[in-house]
Structure 1
């Protein structure tokens, strides 16, 4: 199926945001490699620099898909170990608000994404213009759930008004989508999220929820493409052009 002009334009924005993030990767860095279409552009561009001998870095991926892509493009990978800290993690988001609260997990990698992000000195979000919103909630909130606990998790989330739906394979609607950890994925339709901190606290206390897709206070900055300009968004700060920065904002 051919891409629509809008899809083509958004993909160009993703490439632009990923390219802008490259300017802050330095020799010797340990880099967290995100998951999703925008992060894939970053991994591909990073691999080009590594193969050309312009950058010497190592990385750890937030999903098996990103790990496979990183290997294909020649990025040396590091296995998880105690004491491992990342200088920079570059990842996408399904939604981000002006306070840099995020919804992530549309690709099913929310657990590993949050693990890598919280093990990083700096998390940088890369996003196209459609991802920046005034308030979170239009995009369904993903959960990763232990299969045994699924019925009770669905009951508990429904009681919170989340209208939970087990994620099914788009190619085979009879098949449930599993995370890389072989857990089930549930998409919650709360609508507009007026108190993300409260909701996060409620969800994490439900037995069987391994992780939720609210990333609060984790991202340091976001690169968002708007009208062919890359803007740097930070919580409580007016947007600035990425070209104004030589170091991480």
Structure 2
């Protein structure tokens, strides 16, 4: 609205105009602060590294961001068999963010166990120094990484999930039966250990380990076992 003021100056009438008051600025909403995504804490072992590879030679997914906003391995299901290959199944999160085809399953070899034990028993599998791969429950978590096992430098791309017993996924030779000291071996040339090493998140990626139901019903445990530091044919059980 224009306000008119009439004034008499030297016999002439002037129409003075005063400008309209400026409108009050609109109140802008206070922006919600964006909290940074908390990266998982590496609890054991070392931080992830290239382990002598070029960045382009790693198996890290193109959608991997180092936290749960990107592509990562959500959980790993380990299916144990006594007289053939065990299997390691990778379940991915946010796989649509990756441009490559992500692997799902690899053959593996778990712990053979001491000759005095049967690794199919959950309590026996969880005993220290049993040389069994510990079963679930509980659900395990990735705890950290190393480029190789200290005692066995040929066992590479180590992803720890039971640090107290020094048990991990790693690359190595994989026979079609349990043969390790408790770790889960994945065949080096198939690069399964690298996929886990490069795409899991410490403190977040979950691991469940269970025996096949048919193998649980069998009277016979795995064909090999540890006698001291030697992997031998399991002694035949004496009839009761």
TM beyond 0.5: no
Q: Give the TM-score normalised by structure 1.
A: 0.22
More strand by share: 2
Q: Give the TM-score normalised by structure 2.
A: 0.23
Larger radius of gyration: 2
